[in-house]
Amino acid sequence: MQLRKKCILANMPTSFDLLPVEDSDLPSFKAYAQEAFQKGFEEHFGKSEQTILPERDIDASLSAKGAIAYKAIQDGKMVGGAIVNINNATGVNHLDFLFVRYGMQGKGIGKRIWFEIEKFHPETNVWRTCTPYFERRNIHFYVNVCGFRIIEFFNEKHPMPDCPEDFIGDGNEGLFEFEKIKE
């Protein structure tokens, strides 16, 4: 039994930090986010020649007023990240992207990222985010792990306002919008 405990502890990460993304991090940050979104899409729909998360979408999120990008560092390596949009005037903030590096899902990294973000922004009254209908893992994560609730379902009969015409990230199956209200 003692040997099993040592093996488990040996595999545990020794450190985890959520830090602001620096300019020098951007190429890796973008590549890891794109890979995570691409692989998630392709696991459901099969190989796609189209980029599911174009760099222009990441750049638009990064350059928005109130945007803050975070990188998750575990044992000295970037393992995920997020971009949030903070509106101090309203206290209604948006999680634009949250990703865990491909191949590292299911290890609690996303949960750690999210709960650190909440600690960093205690002034938030409401958090909002979206995820595609097909991403059952994400739906579970936001609803059952993070405490969000589904507030809207965007689809061909109820389109998302300001959604780009060439958006394919939902596989034409629609998007859920989630909300988490501060208790």
Strand runs (DSSP E) across the chain, as ranges? Answer: 16-20, 67-74, 77-85, 92-100, 126-132, 149-154, 175-181
What's the pLDDT band for 167 if we cut at 50, 70, 90?
low
Output the CA–CA distances (angstroms, integers) from residue 41 to 10, 11, 77, in the order listed: 33, 29, 24
Could you please state the CATH topology (level 3) that the domain comprising 14-181 is classified under: Aminopeptidase (3.40.630)
Cα of 122 vs its chain's centroid, Å: 19
CB atoms within 10 A of CB 83: 21
Task: Give the pLDDT confidence score for residue 7 in this predicted structure.
Answer: 41
pLDDT digits (tens, 9 = 90+) for 43-93: 888 998 988 899 999 999 999 999 999 999 999 999 999 999 999 999 999
What's the pLDDT band for 14 if we cut at 50, 70, 90?
low
Q: What tokens were used for 58?
A: 């990441």
pTM of the model: 0.87
Nearest to 69 by CA among 39, 103, 32, 102: 32
